[in-house]
């Protein structure tokens, strides 16, 4: 039987790791072309289960990364964080799923790292040159490994544009969908509280400046919560702001919108385009100091006029609702391309 292996970091819980589990679950449910799908966990700690309890709804069995069968009829899908592992496979068809383009860009930012090393070594020429050669070697190795991939999957329009710029092909769309907890629940406009939510892991340096400028607003950080706790919080709040880097089509803005929150973002990464973050342009503001007052005015307007403003996000919610069916269509397409 032909097999697709989705490489995922052990136990780690992010939107990207959930997406890897969703892919395996969807292929297993529909059994396209007799293909079998497995999660292959990387970096399993001795004596610990690699399956995060949050993902037990998607899979009940898995294999270790080291047990992938390197056969010519099999496919191995790597997230961009594991590009260095591609050369390990001589026979299997290896591809990259670009979920977070910035993970790759940050690892290959040669100019930025060069400047950092120059400062760190204080101009000591020999040490600086040694470190520089190491950086250049890593940069060349990663780009070489990307070229070895036989196909590319893109989770976002942001990633698609990157692949076009880098002339990487063939490429296929394979987006994602948010958890069914959000897709299967209609939000309630009533009993909303004047809460402004933010994710402290997403652009907090700038968000902190907004909070300091408007301390009277009711700010709540989304952290250290279960899925159910996040769901309940989103369903009683009015506004969610996100000035992070948006390295892919992030889940939190979509979960917030589906829960009945108004959404404000910056203009980094995927938030720059209308395909990935389909909210009115007035709710996208660059994360610059001179825009802080404008952002606070936007937030205040959304809190005071929530019943009217929430309708501004109907198109975004409609798009999100259709993502699960689109995900299935995307899978069917790329499996046909690879196996048939």
Distance from C-alpha of 277 to C-alpha of 264, rounded to nearest angstrom = 10
Task: Please list the rounded mean pLDDT of every run of 10 residues in the chain (340 residues).
Answer: 94 92 93 88 92 93 96 95 92 95 69 45 47 51 84 96 93 93 89 96 95 98 91 97 95 96 97 96 97 98 97 97 95 84
Distance from C-alpha of 319 to C-alpha of 253, rounded to nearest angstrom = 13
Distance from C-alpha of 80 to C-alpha of 84, rounded to nearest angstrom = 9
Q: Which phi and psi angles does 94 have, rounded to 5°?
A: -105, 135
Query: Alpha helices, DSSP H only, in the chain?
Result: 15-30, 101-107, 110-120, 125-148, 157-166, 180-183, 204-213, 227-234, 251-258, 292-304, 306-309, 314-321, 323-339
CA 244 to chain centre: 12
Q: Which two tokens stand for residue 40?
A: 């292959």
Give the Cβ contact number of residue 125 at 10 Å.
8
Read off the pTM: 0.87
- Contact in structure between 63 and 44 (CB atoms under 8 Å): no
Give the Cβ contact number of residue 144 at 10 Å.
12
Q: Which two tokens stand for residue 265?
A: 């973002």
- Contact in structure between 173 and 332 (CB atoms under 8 Å): no
pLDDT on residue 216: 97
Write down all domains in the chain, each with its CATH number in brackets: 3-107+150-177+324-339 (3.40.50.2000), 180-321 (3.40.50.2000)
pLDDT on residue 107: 64
- Contact in structure between 309 and 301 (CB atoms under 8 Å): yes
Give the Cβ contact number of residue 1 at 10 Å.
7
pLDDT on residue 114: 43
Distance from C-alpha of 155 to C-alpha of 174, rounded to nearest angstrom = 5
Q: Classify 18 as helix, strand or coil.
A: helix
pLDDT on residue 120: 47
Tokens 């006029």 — which residue?
A: 305
Stretch (H or E) spanning 197: strand 195-198
């Amino acid at each position: 039987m032909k097999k697709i292996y989705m490489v995922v970091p052990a136990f780690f819980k992010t939107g990207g790791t959930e997406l890897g589990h969703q892919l395996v679950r969807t292929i297993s449910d529909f059994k396209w072309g007799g293909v079998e799908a497995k999660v292959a966990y990387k970096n399993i700690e001795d004596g610990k289960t690699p399956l995060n309890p949050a993902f037990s709804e998607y899979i009940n069995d898995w294999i270790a990364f080291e047990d992938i069968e390197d056969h010519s009829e099999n496919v191995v899908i790597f997230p961009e964080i594991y590009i260095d592992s591609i050369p390990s496979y001589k026979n299997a068809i290896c591809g990259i799923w670009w979920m977070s383009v910035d993970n790759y860009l940050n690892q290959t930012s040669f100019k930025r790292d060069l400047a950092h090393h120059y400062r760190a070594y204080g101009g000591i020429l020999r040490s600086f040159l040694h470190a520089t050669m190491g950086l250049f070697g890593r940069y060349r190795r990663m780009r070489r490994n990307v070229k070895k991939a036989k196909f590319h999957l893109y989770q976002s329009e942001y990633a698609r544009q990157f692949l076009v710029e880098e002339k990487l092909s063939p490429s296929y769309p394979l987006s994602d969908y948010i958890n069914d907890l959000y897709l299967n629940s209609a939000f309630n406009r009533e009993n909303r509280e004047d809460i402004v939510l933010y994710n402290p892991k997403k652009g907090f340096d700038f968000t902190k400046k907004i909070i300091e400028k408007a301390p009277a607003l009711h700010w709540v950080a989304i952290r250290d919560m279960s899925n159910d706790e996040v769901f309940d919080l989103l369903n009683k709040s009015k506004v969610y702001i996100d000035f992070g880097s948006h390295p892919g089509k992030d889940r939190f803005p979509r979960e917030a919108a589906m829960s009945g929150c108004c959404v404000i973002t910056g203009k980094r990464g995927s938030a720059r385009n209308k395909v990935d973050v389909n909210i009115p342009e007035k709710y996208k503001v660059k994360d610059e100091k001179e825009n802080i007052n404008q952002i606070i005015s936007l937030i205040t307007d959304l809190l005071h006029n929530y019943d009217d403003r929430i309708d501004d996000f109907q198109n975004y919610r409609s798009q999100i609702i259709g993502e699960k069916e689109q995900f299935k269509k995307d899978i069917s397409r790329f499996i046909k391309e690879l196996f048939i």
